[in-house]
Amino acid sequence: MSNDTHTARMSSRERVMTVLHHGIPDRVPIDYCANPGIDGRLKAHFGLAPDDGEGLLRALGVDFHGIGAPYIGPRIHPEVPDRHVDPLWGIRTRWVEHGSGGYWDFCDFPLKDAGEDAVAALPMPSPDDYDYSKIAEYCARNDGYCLFVGGAGTGDIINTSGMIFSVDRVMTDVLTEDPAWQLWVDRKHAVELKVYERVLDAAKGRIDFMWMGEDLGSQRAPLISLDTFRRMIRPRHQKFIDLAKAYNIPVMTHTCGSSSWAYEDFIEMGIGAVDTLQPEAKDMAPAYLKEHFGGRLAFHGCISTAGPVSFGTVDDVIRNCRETLDIMMPGGGYCFSPTHALQDNSPTENVVAMYETGRRYGVYA
């Protein structure tokens, strides 16, 4: 699409796909992700029932909706007292209270001492144990949205494996190319790739893009070198991108922290859009991203969950959102979204102001 693509009123699908192809939509697409506490407060604010997620998406003007196949197979990993255990992958979390609520924090790290034999024997979910029969129905029911498969953790290597091996071990394993760690990653990816392939088949062309992710940076610097990325991460991520290409859909990837150092490689790999975009991290400010990658990558994020939305006033939120829109909107290619899940310490009025600003000032003349 050319950069002058514009209509008076687009569907969500048209709006997002115009942006992913670097065109100019009627308004910036809007996305939403939040922790349960603020999600519940927003529903109460709009007079919605606690389970009315669809109503909240409409109230906020959200354009995106994920499509997936629910797991219907047996529980693979048993529960553990005082822990929540992911039934498919065995990742453990414990509940930690804080001043505005709480969160599930990763703990125990069951594979922190695992060798290659233990990983080879680890049970994994089967792609046959997912229900693909209702995918077409899900797509039809949510036809008003731009539909995607996957999410910020799809294909993720460092972050997800850190949840079960421990971050300390994974950062060493990446550098030493530990065979046990690699085997777990590759076994997990094999399942994911087959599941997404079958979801895409069942959707019969209605899914619009694939979302995947990797945490590549701290606030100040890369987590790994570019050489390590090219050896250990890029070839594995390429399999997901190639799957999306086979179905003629674009790819957006989640990138926490200072990650723009990898964006030239992303472009070579065929990634079309980048997500998260924490503006406080090194070389991740909206102006920097727009200057260096505008027109070559589309952007999704930039509204910091650690900024005015959490700690400022309503006026601070409006000012921050308008400044971001002023930088990112020219020429198209921007989706208005929080950098991460909105946190429970975000005042309700700030989040409402954020979305009102996106809808009001994200309109192209």
pLDDT band for position 98 (50/70/90)?
confident
pLDDT of residue 82: 95
Q: pLDDT of 234-281, one tens digit each?
A: 999 999 999 999 999 999 999 999 999 999 999 999 999 999 999 999
**Domain locations along the chain:** 12-73+113-361
pLDDT band for position 362 (50/70/90)?
very high
Q: What are the φ and ψ backbone dihedral angles of 116, each rounded to 5 degrees? A: -65, -40
pLDDT band for position 2 (50/70/90)?
very low
Question: What b/e sequence results for 181-216 when a residue is b if at least 16 CB atoms lie within 10 Å of its CB, and e otherwise?
Answer: bbbbbeebbebbbebbebbbebbeebbbbbbbbbbb
pLDDT of residue 5: 46
Q: Nearest-CA neighbor of 80 among 98, 102, 107?
A: 107
Q: Nearest-CA neighbor of 175 among 228, 214, 222?
A: 228
pLDDT, mean over the chain: 96
Mean pLDDT of 172-179: 97
pLDDT of residue 171: 96
Mean pLDDT of 289-312: 98
pLDDT of residue 101: 83
Mean pLDDT of 113-122: 98
Mean pLDDT of 76-104: 94
Q: pLDDT of 3-58, one tens digit each?
A: 444 445 899 999 999 999 999 999 999 999 999 999 999 999 999 999 999 999 99
Who's near 200: CB < 8 A, 6+ residues apart? 149, 207, 243, 247, 249
pLDDT of residue 6: 47
Other beta carbons within 10 angstroms of residue 99's beta carbon come to 7
Q: Which tokens sit at 150?
A: 């996957």
Say how far apart CA 29 and CA 363 lie, in whole Å: 10
Q: pLDDT of 225-236, one tens digit each?
A: 999 999 999 999
Look at the domain 12-73+113-361 and name its fold. TIM Barrel (3.20.20)
Say how far apart CA 250 and CA 147 lie, in whole Å: 12
Mean pLDDT of 302-308: 97
Beta strands in 226-327 (DSSP E): 251-255, 273-276, 298-303
> 300 with 274: CB under 8 angstroms?
yes
pLDDT of residue 8: 53
